Structure formats: structure tokens, C-alpha cells
Amino acid sequence: MTELLDSEAVETVFRRLRDAMPGRTRGAKGPKGQPDAFRACIACMLSAQSLDRNTAAATQALFALATTPNAMLDLSDTQIAQAIRPAGLYNVKTRNIRQFCEALLANHAGVVPRSREGLMSLPGIGRKCADIVMSFTFGADVIAVDTHVHRVCNRIGLTAARTAEGTARQLESRAPHWALHDGHFWLIQFGKQICQARRPQCAVCPLSDLCRWRLENLEK
């Protein structure tokens, strides 16, 4: 497992990312471009094990039928499943959507909670979805961990975790407070543009002298 960077190096990593990456864009909003917290949660649930284009097709079809928890519960399971079929696992996701809406109405008067604890108390919402909704929809200072962020953090040595949830917990304690607001954006942009999964662009990487993965591979 990659050796962790010390706290001074972690600060340096985030300063360099801040300088190299554009960060949070003005138009950044809910997951998959959804305009409110309810639809952001549903879209995040649908995105599990689904390509972006398939998630987009599923959300468009579903939200053409219902955009509130009450309206969603008025739909039959068949209607929901048929709408979200492009996203895959549609029977499981249909059940999660229905349970999510029921819990949201029963426990939160239909209003999506703004806290991680409140979000994660809802069926179908794990740490990743909760943090994504908090960051994108509510503008909270939290680094949401998706595939790109998980890969980058563990390559560099910001974290040493086997799961995205483990990476999120470590980032919460290791990232400087000033980096929490835009940290997700810097890391995901860095992961897409430079620290790519199959062909990391180490020759142009602003973190190459600090990256534990690169240093370990140079020593082999």
C-alpha cells in the first residue's frame, strides 16, 4: 500500500492543485446537473454502476414522470423500473427509490436533510452520494470521493485506503481546511486530465516529485 505523505507535503499537494486546476466552476450544481437536492439524490442513486450517458437517459425519463417524493410514490414499480432501465439494476434501484421517498416523507417532511448523518439515514444514500449532494447541491466544505478522486489520492499518497469511503474518511482528517471547498474539483480535474487511470501523464504532472506511486515505480 502506498506510503502516506506527511502533513507538510499534503499542504503542498493541495496548493499546487489549486494553482494548476480550475476548481469549482460557476455552473456546478447537483449530480448529473439536477436542479434540486431531491433529484440530485435520485440521480446519484441511479449512477451506481452506470455510465453517465445511461444515467442521463434514466434521470430524464424518470423526472419526466415525477419530480417530488409524493409524485414518485404515485408511480407504480413498473413505471419507475421502465423509466430507469437504461441505468441498470433497475429492480433494486426502483426499490431504493421508493424506500428513499417513503423515509424522506416520514422522517423529514419531504425535505432532503443537509447533513451527512441525515442523508446517510435515508435508504440508498451512502457516504459517496451524501458527500456529493452536500458538496454540489448545498455547497458544503467536503471532498466528495468518486472513482477519480479515490484513485488519485491513493496514488499520490494523500490517503492509503482500499475503499472510496475509507479515502473520504482519511481526507476529512488530512486535507487542510481551506482545501475542502474546492478539493473535490481539483482532484477530479487532475484525475481526468493528468493522473489518468491507464496512462498517468507523469512527465507533465505538477506533483511528480511528491507522488509516492511514481517514486515507488522509479525505485523498481
Question: In whole angstroms, what is the distance from residue 131 CA to residue 125 CA?
Answer: 10
| The pLDDT value given to residue 136 | 86
| The pLDDT value given to residue 22 | 85
pLDDT at 127 over 70: yes
Q: What is the dotted CATH code of the domain comprising 7-25+143-218?
A: 1.10.1670.10
DSSP 202: G
Mean pLDDT calculated for residue range 156-163: 95
User: Which residue in 66, 118, 128, 141 sits closest to 97, CA to CA?
Assistant: 66
Write down the mean pLDDT value for the chain.
92
Q: Which tens digit of pLDDT belongs to each residue from 70-96?
A: 999 999 999 999 999 999 999 999 999
| The pLDDT value given to residue 25 | 65
With beta carbons less than 8 A apart as the criterion, state whether 97 and 89 touch.
no
| The pLDDT value given to residue 220 | 58
Q: What is the dotted CATH code of the domain comprising 31-137?
A: 1.10.340.30
Domains 7-25+143-218 and 31-137 share a fold: no
How sure is the predictor about 16, in pLDDT bands with cuts at 50, 70 and 90?
very high
Three-state DSSP at 54 gives helix
Which entry of 146, 182, 209, 220 is annotated as an active-site residue?
A: 146
In the annotation, is 209 catalytic? no
| The pLDDT value given to residue 31 | 57
For the chain, give the percent of residues with pLDDT over 70: 94
User: Which residue in 88, 90, 112 sits closest to 40, CA to CA?
Assistant: 112
Which entry of 32, 93, 128, 131 is annotated as an active-site residue?
A: 128
How many residues does this entry show for the chain?
A: 220
How distant is the alpha carbon of residue 71 from its chain centre? 26
Domain spans in the chain, listed from the N-terminal domain onward: 7-25+143-218, 31-137
Amino acid at 63: F
In the annotation, is 93 catalytic? no
